[in-house]
Structure 1
C-alpha cells in the first residue's frame, strides 16, 4: 500500500501535502496495481466520486483529470 495516501476531505497527500494523487502516489499505485489496471481504474473512480462530493466547488473536468486522467 502506498505511503502517499489521501487525506479527505481536503484531498491532499498525507506524506508530501501535494494534491492527491501526487506524483509519487501515482507511481506507487501504478506499481501496486500493475497486474490489474482495471482494478486501479475502479479504485480511483471511487476516490473521484468521494472527492467530487468533498470538493463540490471544483470543475468536474479538473477532478476527472486529477483522479482518472493519468491512468494508462
Structure 2
C-alpha cells in the first residue's frame, strides 16, 4: 500500500516521496478534493503556511504553499479565487 502524500513536520517534506510539500501528487489530490471550492483550498493552505513559517525560513514559502493555485471553476458561492 502506498503512503499518503502528506507534509512531515518540521521539515515540510512529503512523507511519501520526500519532495518539498505540497509535492505534485499532493497538489493533484488537493485540487481534486477542493475542486468545487478553491477559496477553501486557499484558506487551508494559508493555515498550513502560517504553521510552516515557524519551521521554514526560505523565501519561497508563498510560492510553495499558495502560488501554484490558479483560478479555477466558480466556487459554490459563485465567486472565483484570484484575479
Q: TM-score with structure 1 length normalisation?
A: 0.88
Q: SS of 1:68's equivalent?
A: helix
Larger Rg: 2
Shift of 1:5: 0.7
Root-mean-square deviation (CA, aligned residues, Å) is: 0.7
Instruction: Please show how residues 1-72 of structure 1 align to structure 2 within 5 Å.
Output: 3-55=4-56, 57-59=57-59, 62-72=60-70
| Structure 1: distance between partners of 2:38 and 2:23 | 18
How many matched pairs? Answer: 67
Shift of 1:53: 1.1
Shift of 1:27: 0.5
| Structure 2: distance between partners of 1:48 and 1:66 | 9
Q: Can you give the 5+ residue segments of structure 1 that lack an aligned partner in the other structure?
A: none
| Structure 2: distance between partners of 1:8 and 1:43 | 16
Moved over 4 A (4+): none
CA deviations over 1:6-59 (Å, ceiling 9, x no partner): 00110000111100000110000000000111100000001111111111x312
| Structure 2: distance between partners of 1:31 and 1:69 | 17
Q: TM-score with structure 2 length normalisation?
A: 0.77
